[in-house]
Amino acid sequence: MLSGPITATLFERGAFDASDRYAVATALAAFSIGLPAYVLVKALAPGFFGRYDTMTPVKISVVSLVINVVFALILMRVFGHFGIALATSLSAWINAGALAVVLFRRGHFRLDPRLIHRFPRIILATVIMMGTLGIARWVVDSIVGPVFGANGAAAGPEFMRVIILAFLITTGVIVFVLSAIAIGAAEKSDLDQLRRSTAVSNKESTTP
């Protein structure tokens, strides 16, 4: 939803024009598809390392790398650079899925009942956030024009881009949190625990 605004705000100036913004934004959107998979790989790999099995994750990673190359060669013929980025995301999901399946078959991985209960609600909260951001983008474009550029047009003033991008990100976070709490994807106690954990981490990082 925000790949275009983020790219326009961070990079669109000087020789980096609207066509470059579009190319980078589409690649960023493709990479974002694999973001949950990258996190899952980091979370699942210790399930092997903690049992002194370092070879299985390596083997799966090598297979995923080969799949990545194959997908990239196929998809780039159809989608160009977007296909290369998409291939990386798809191979990341294959990597995460393979790790989860192996751990499950070995009896080392089970889905938490709370996750099964909350996951559809998390998806719904995400959809609500995306819809709200889409409406917010439309309102912004209607009031102040295409600040982040549209249809090949250059982006607007840099200070305006920064302000509106901050507004959109803040809106997305607030809407997601409120939606998650309202539909049962999260509880206030989860937020309290997150704040406490963050406070402890910050305190430890500043302690000499």
pLDDT for 36-47, tens place per residue? Answer: 999 999 999 999
Higher-confidence residue of 154 and 74: namely 74
Higher-confidence residue of 208 and 69: namely 69
41 contacts 99 by C-beta, under 8 angstroms: yes
Domain boundaries, the chain: 1-110, 111-207
* 49, 51, 56, 58: CA torsion to nearest 10: 20
CA gap 87, 68 in Å, rounded: 5
The pTM is what? 0.78
